[in-house]
Structure formats: C-alpha cells, structure tokens
Amino acid sequence: MKTSGWGRYPVIDSEVVRYNSDDSLFENIDGRNPVIPYGFGRSYGDSALSDTILKMRPAKRMLHFDPENGLLTCEAGVLLSEILETFLPRGWFLKVTPGTKYITIGGAIASDVHGKNHHQYGAFSEYVSEFSLMMPNGSIKACSRTKNKDLFYATCGGMGLTGIILKATISLQSVQSNTIVQQTIKTACLKEIFQAFEEYYNEPYSVAWIDCTATGSSLGRGLLNVGHFKEDHKFEYKAPGKLNMPLKLPGFLLNKWSIKLFNQLYYQKNLKSENRSETTVDSFFYPLDILKNWNRLYGEEGPLQYQFVLPKKTSFDGIKEVLNYLQKKNMYSSLGVLKLFGKENKNLLSFPMEGYTLALDFKVDDKIFQILDDLDKIISGLGGRIYLAKDARMSVEIFNTGYSKAKEFRSIRDQYGMNKIFNSLQSNRLNL
Amino acid sequence: MNDRWLLILGANSDIAVGTAHQFASNNWNLMLASRNLSNLNKMASDIKIKHNVRVKTFEFDAAAFDNHKTFYQKLTYKPNGVVLAFGYLGDQETAQNDFEEAKKSLDVNYNGAVSILEIVADDFTERGEGFIAGISSVAGERGRQENYIYGSAKAGFTAYLSGLRQRLFKKNIHVLTIKPGFVKTKMTFGRDLPNILTASPEQVGKAIYKGVIKQKNVIYVYPVWRLIMLVIRLIPEPIFKRLDL
C-alpha cells in the first residue's frame, strides 16, 4: 500500500499489519524487519514509514479512569480527540496538547510532543506516569521513572524505535470551563516579540505567528497569542464539524506573491496593539483541524514542515539570521510559528530545549532541499536541533550534533536488539 | 438510573463494538457475551468510561449449544433486547475439503444462532417484551462459488429470522434482520473492498439502532445493496452458473 507521512513526502510502498490484540501482536510481526508502529499518520516526515507498518489505531480502548486524581489508562491507539470528547464535558483536559487533536497517545509519547504551554508545563511525557512496551522478543515491560527507567527515557521521544507502546497512564488536568480567554499582542519587530514572550510568561498558553515576508526594521514582526482557561464552569463541549479539503490545490497558487499578500492581511487584521477575546478550546488549540486534509492546500507535494529550536542565548540572533537567509534566497515560508520553550527533560531524543523554536512551512520544490541543508548548518552551529516528528531529510551529522544523547540511544537499541526489528526510513537515514 | 439492558452475543466483533457504543450512547446498559473475556473486559471498561452506563461481561461460545440454556439463565438481568453479532467467515476452499471447517461455519452461523435465539424467544414471549436484531449477510441471498458454505448458513439464518419475525409479531416482539454488505473490519482486513460500498462498523451500529427504533424488518446498511442484490438474484440460473461473479 502507498503510504506517506502528513507532509506527503516521501511516498513509499509498505505492507500494512493491523493490531488485533496484545496476544496476537508479536506473532504478526515476528520475523519481519523493518517494522515500525504507526498511529494516525500525523507525523510529517518519514518517522512512521517502513517496509512494514503496524497500524496501532485499533487499540483504542480506555481501560481505567480515576476521577480522584485525573489518571487515565488507555490503549496506545486512543486519539487525543477521543479523550477531549469523553472528558472535557466532565471538566478534564490534557495537560499538554500539540496543535492537532488527531494524534494517538502512542504517537504523542513517541514524539514527546509539546504544546503552547511548554514554558510552564514541559512536554507530553512529563504527564505520562507509566506505559507498557512490547520488546523485540515479544515480552511486555511496564516502564516508568522508577521501573525500567532506561526504557522509559528512551521511549519518550524515541520515535517508535524502542518497541511498541501498548497502553499508557497519563494525568489529565482539571479545568473550570471549555472557554479560553485569549489576548493578541501586536508587535512591530522580532525584538518586540521576544520581549512580549517574557512579559506574558505567566500566561499558561502562548504562541506567536510571525510574518516571514516582513523585511528591514519590521523583520520578525508578528502577533503573540496568549491565553488561559476561563472559570465559568460551563462545559457544553461539542466538537466542531469538519470541512473537507476535497482536492489538492494546484501548487502554483501558493507562490511568493500570494504568501506575501496573505501575511500582510493577517498582520493588518489586528488593528489594535492588544486585543482580548474569548474562544473555544478547538479554535484556540486546533485551528487547522477544522479543515480536514489541510495538507492538500500545498498541492501534490504537500507541506514541508521545518521546525528547529535554538538555545536561549543564541535564539534571537539565530532566528534573525534564518529569516534574513531565507529572504536572500527569495524563499518565503507561508507560515512562521514562534514559541518559547521551558526546561528540557531527561529523555534521550526529545526535541524541546530551553530557548525559542520556530516552525516554518514550505512547498516542496527543487530549491528547497539545498536551502534547508544550509539552514541546518546555521542551526547546528548555534547549538540547536531539528524536530524529528517533522523531519524527512536531515543528515546524520546534523542530527548527531543536535541530539547529544544519540549515542546512549543507539546503545540501548543495540542492547535490547531493537535495531533488529524496529526500523523506519528515518532511523536508517540517521543511523539509529 | 436507567434500567434497560441490551445483550450482545458475539460482542468482540467489530460490528458488535460499533453497535455497543451506539446503544450505550443512548443510555442502554450492556451485557456483552463472547469467547474472549480478556478482550471483552477491555471493551467493557471503554464503554463504561465513555458513556457512563453499566456493563457486564459473560463467557459465551456460539457453537457450545449445550451451554446456551445455562448461559441465558445465569445472566444478571433479563435483557430488553438482543443483538446477535457472532459469525464465522472461514475459508471456502478449506471448507470444501474438510468437513470440520464446513461444520464450524454451519454451527456458528446457523445452528448456534437457532439454539440461543429459541431460548431468547421463549423468554421474550413469556415476558411480552423485547426485540431481536440478527446480523445476517448479503452472501445469503444467492449461493456463489466463492463463499457458498458461509452463504448457505447465512441464507438459513435469514430465513430463520423471517419465520421468527412472523411468529413473534403476534406477541409484539420485533425481529430485525441486518444485511451489512461490505464492512471494514478485522474479518475483511487486507481485502480490496470498493470504498463507496464499504461501511464502517460505526455506521452499521447506527443503522442497527435506527432499525430497532423504527421497527424495520430487513435493513441494508447502504441502501444501494438492496438494488445490487436484487440484480444478482434476478440473473437466470443458466447464465449465473457460467459467471465468475
């Protein structure tokens, strides 16, 4: 079956094995190499692509909920959206959520995803207390920060390369509403947006959109969006319907001029320098989920996402350098999303580190790969790293420099024989 | 507190899971019966957490006819409705060469169904309430070389339900026959099914719930199946036997 990540690049032919039960799982994958667990297919690049992909989505049952402390145990194929539908009406919300609710719990752990509250809460795995992992020999191990902790720290952020996550226990947070009070702060340049992040540090949720087409003294201008849950005890949660993006748009619609125009208008739409409003959980956290298949906006080749993080002390100059470089190359990202991360965790391959992260969207064309290779070098030189869940192309040298615990990860893979079975295009490329 | 109980026989099938969620979201409590209890208990937890209803699980083997009476007597509650979802597709070629395989198909798809539903029918008649929804198959509408052993058992089951419907109608008990057509399940995984004719287990569950509420007699999940099967039934035998259909 033809398979690709959410970014539609690359496309490969894979055999698909479907999860049926814990008992039959090992039998179904035994003797196959390479095989990689696959959740809902929302990672952009090649991290869930392999000759055999194991679809874990049928493992989607919730097994236990403790309303005293908000602890939920569920199978790995449960979607974040299913957790919201079940628990938001009862006043519970995820502690950490990425910008889409259509990812599985297993995928969230494997990518150790982050959200708009990373500066205060950290990454997804901080709220995972335990999970069961099927090892390369079919045995199942319970992993936590005290039990099999080497497996715990390797698996969180480990891109599915350490085994198959079968079920996990996560903690939910109690919220007092399903309405978000949000504030938008308009900034005139990169310096101002950095200052705004610091100024609004106490807001639990924050993320900024930046206009990648602005030049000169406006370079890096944008809108910082911050928010928190209201406390009105109203929970009439209903997930919004989805609009389908029925066809792929022809790629030429998205060009330098349309991107400039869109960014101009988006920046100008906020006239005041500060804007307060109330909004729903869905439009605050998951604006793109409303448009099903939004990746088709980018034409046949799909959106190439590029996300990097820089240490705090090199962030400002580094991001400026990246934006300037892109402009020099006449390459415009249609979307630039900037976020301040808090402290990094102990996982071997987790992406976040304390500093600023920038996510960029590009249409695939013949120039883009060379340009991204150049950006890799800039980022690597400044002590930063590239996000594995969005990567389909970085080199092993860039990876090794950015992820300082990669060696330890490789030796765990070797020790347990994980590299004899659990391999993806990404792990082959990065020699993991 | 709601006290309506639905009994699902063969509750581990994907269609049964879709049906269970549909009824539970409409405040039905569930008794789930199947051979694999460990899987069933996971499903029970999931339904309890998501829908806040009561769920019980029971071990049940469609082909163990001798145990059916005791099974029914031991149920914690008297069901207000029964969905029969068990079935066995098996492999046609194996069944042609090995009667044990053919018998398994007949036992699960037909004999087991008759055995348990007669017990249910007696109880419902006595209590003067209840409905029975049986999941049959479009494969039962005309025998085809590809799956006629399974198909003939389902044909028998369809005829059985039709007779049961006539008998129980006089007692105000409703009997629904469901012919799902192609469904995306673990039973059909890996088969190349045409998308526009293939329903999801959730859609089948919704169709069954609607069929029960509206007291339908026979439903196809996608109405186009009624037409397709009509055409297949109308092909004259001299022509039909020459087709690869």
* pLDDT(A391) > 70: yes
Shortest CA distance to A376 belongs to which of A431, A303, A306?
A306
- Helices marked H in A275-367: 281-285, 312-328
Q: How many Å lie between the alpha carbon of B222 and the closest alpha carbon of chain A?
A: 22
What pLDDT score does A273 carry? 73
CB of A58 within 8 Å of any CB in chain B?
A: yes
Best A2, A28, A53, A62 residue to mutate vs chain B (most B CBs within 10 Å): A62
Find out whether B130 and B145 touch, Cβ atoms under 8 Å: no
* pLDDT above 90 for A87: yes
* SS3 (DSSP) at A111: coil
Whether B118 and chain A come into contact, CB under 8 Å, resolves to: no
User: Given CB atoms, is B127 within the 8 Å cutoff of chain A?
Assistant: no
Q: Is A96's pLDDT higher than 70?
A: yes
How would you label B189-199 residue by residue, b for 16+ Cβ within 10 Å and e otherwise?
Answer: eeeeeeeeebb
3-state secondary structure of B117: helix
- In angstroms, rounded to a whole number, what is the distance separating the alpha carbons of residues B135 and B175? 11
State how far residue A53 is from chain B, nearest Cα, in angstroms. 13
Q: What 8-state DSSP symbol labels residue A239?
A: P
Q: Would you tell me which residues 207-226 of chain B have a C-beta closer than 8 angstroms to some C-beta of chain A?
A: none
> Residue A18 is nearest to which of B36, B49, B186, comparing CB atoms?
B186
One-letter amino acid for residue A46 of the chain: D
**Which pLDDT score is estimated for A267?**
79
Q: Who among A18, A60, A65 is closest to B49 (CB)?
A: A65
A1 pLDDT exceeds 70? yes
Name the residue in chain A with its Cα closest to that of B17. Answer: A61
Residue type, B42: K
CB-nearest partner of B46 from A18, A20, A61 = A61
How many pairs of residues across A and B have Cβ atoms under 8 Å apart? 24
CA dist., res. A328 & res. A307, Å (int): 20
Does the beta carbon of A81 lie under 8 angstroms from any beta carbon of chain B? no
Query: Distance from B235 to chain A by nearest Cα, in Å?
Result: 35
Q: How much of chain B, in percent, has pLDDT values that exceed 90?
A: 93
β-pair type (B131-135, B81-84): parallel
Touching check for A18 and chain B: CB below 8 Å? yes
Whether chain A has a CB inside 8 Å of the CB on B46: the answer is: yes
Determine the average pLDDT of the residues in B17-25.
98
* A109 within 8 A of A152, measured Cβ to Cβ: no
Q: Is B5 exposed, middle or buried (0-12, 13-18, 19+ CB in 10 A)?
A: buried
Is residue A224 within 8 Å of residue A208, measured between CB atoms?
yes
pLDDT band at A245 (very low <50, low <70, confident <90, very high): low
Asked if A1 has any chain B CB less than 8 Å from its own CB, the reply is: no
Q: Which of B166, B164, B142 is nearest to B154 (CA)?
A: B142
Q: What is the pLDDT of residues A262-320, one digit of tens each?
A: 777 777 776 677 788 999 999 999 988 866 666 666 666 667 889 999 999 999 999 99
User: Strand A205-210 relative to strand A336-341: parallel, antiparallel, unpaired?
Assistant: antiparallel
Nearest CA in chain A to B36: A21
The model's pLDDT over A115-135, given as tens digits with 9 standing for 90+, comes to: 999 999 999 999 999 999 999
DSSP output for A287-308: GGGGEETGGGGG-TT-EEEEEE
Tokens 């006239």 belong to residue: A271
Q: Does B49 touch chain A (CB under 8 A)?
A: yes
**Which chain B residues have a beta carbon less than 8 Å from that of A75?**
42
Tell me the pLDDT band of B148, cut-offs 50, 70 and 90: very high
pLDDT at residue A240 tops 90: no
Residue A432 is encoded by which pair of tokens? Answer: 């993991």
User: What span, in angstroms and rounded, lies between the C-alpha atoms of A175 and A42?
Assistant: 27
pLDDT at A287: 82
Give the whole-angstrom CA distance, residue A148 versus residue A146: 7
**Cα–Cα dist B193/B184, whole Å:** 8
Say whether residue A253 is in contact with chain B using an 8 A CB cutoff: no
Q: Chain B partners of A64 at a C-beta cutoff of 8 Å? A: 45, 49
pLDDT at A256 over 80: no
- pLDDT at position B1 over 60: no
What is the Cα–Cα distance from A83 to A108, expressed in whole angstroms? Answer: 13
Interatomic CA distance for residues A59 and A74, integer angstroms: 9
Quick count: other Cβ atoms within 10 Å of Cβ A198? 8
Which of B36, B45, B189 has the CB atom closest to A61's CB atom?
A: B45
* Cα-based distances in Å from A331 to A122, A254, A391: 32, 12, 19
pLDDT band of B27, cuts 50, 70, 90 = very high
